[in-house]
Amino acid sequence: MALILFAGYLKNAEVSVDALSICMNILGWTLMVALGMNAAISVRVSNELGAAHPRTAKFSLVVAVVTSSFIGIFLSAILIATRNEYPSLFSTDSSVETLVEELTPILAFCIVINNIQPVLSGVAIGAGWQAVVAYVNIACYYLFGIPLGLILGYKLGWGVKGIWYGMMTGTIVQTCVLFFIVYRTNWNKEASIAEDRIKKWGGAKENDVDKTNDN
């Protein structure tokens, strides 16, 4: 939504906002798949680590990333193939349709990236790295992506494409950082950490409860 807000201050803002609104709506629809995968892999990884199954947790994240990536590529291919037709479903303004066609390759690439990044975030959350994910999101998107987009869009005169390129670059950096963290993770160690958390926060053991009831 910040992208649409910034586009409102560009020259020919009405066309830019209209075209971006169309692209953001499509991106939002496709993002529902990634958000579902985010929740699923977060729960699966946390359960497998808690059950001391590090190899299963690692296999689950690979399956989730690959599956979500293929879904993103498939949806992007559909948009690229219909880039001259689908804009007319949203607007009858020829200038808006033209701009949407020009933005379609960026939209397609964003769909692929946004089908990978939420899955990696879900893995990190499931492993208990919520604070790390928050810092990575803030640094990559708000401190790097948005300022870069404003520089490209306003200072260098790239317009709406520049703003979107900057924000997309922030998302790419965010995805790369999360991928590096996940790739370097020692899953056996994470399973041990999860076991320690369960012992610390899981409450009394079953045997202890039975002894208490007997007394």
Asked, for residue 204, whether it belongs to a domain, the answer is no
Asked, for residue 206, whether it belongs to a domain, the answer is no
The model's pLDDT over 10-52, given as tens digits with 9 standing for 90+, comes to 777 888 888 888 998 999 898 888 889 999 999 999 889 888 8
Q: Answer whether 0.85 is exceeded by the pTM.
A: no
Q: Is the pLDDT of residue 211 over 70?
A: no
Asked, for residue 209, whether it belongs to a domain, the answer is no
pLDDT classification of 105: cutoffs 50, 70, 90:
very high
Asked, for residue 183, whether it belongs to a domain, the answer is yes
Helix axes 130-137, 159-183, angle to 10 degrees: 150
Asked, for residue 157, whether it belongs to a domain, the answer is yes
Tokens 């066309």 correspond to what residue?
Answer: 15
In the prediction, which pLDDT does 125 show? 87
In the prediction, which pLDDT does 194 show? 80
In the prediction, which pLDDT does 6 show? 77
Kindly report the average pLDDT of the chain as a whole number. Answer: 86
Please give the tally of structural domains in the chain. Answer: 1
In the prediction, which pLDDT does 15 show? 87
pLDDT, mean of residues 94-119: 92
pLDDT, mean of residues 201-211: 53
Cα separation, 69 vs 67, whole angstroms: 5
In the prediction, which pLDDT does 209 show? 43
Asked, for residue 208, whether it belongs to a domain, the answer is no
Q: Nearest to residue 117, comparing CAs of 72, 54, 149?
A: 72
In the prediction, which pLDDT does 158 show? 87
Asked, for residue 213, whether it belongs to a domain, the answer is no
Range of the domain at 137: 2-195
Asked, for residue 140, whether it belongs to a domain, the answer is yes
Cα separation, 186 vs 191, whole angstroms: 9
pLDDT classification of 212: cutoffs 50, 70, 90:
very low
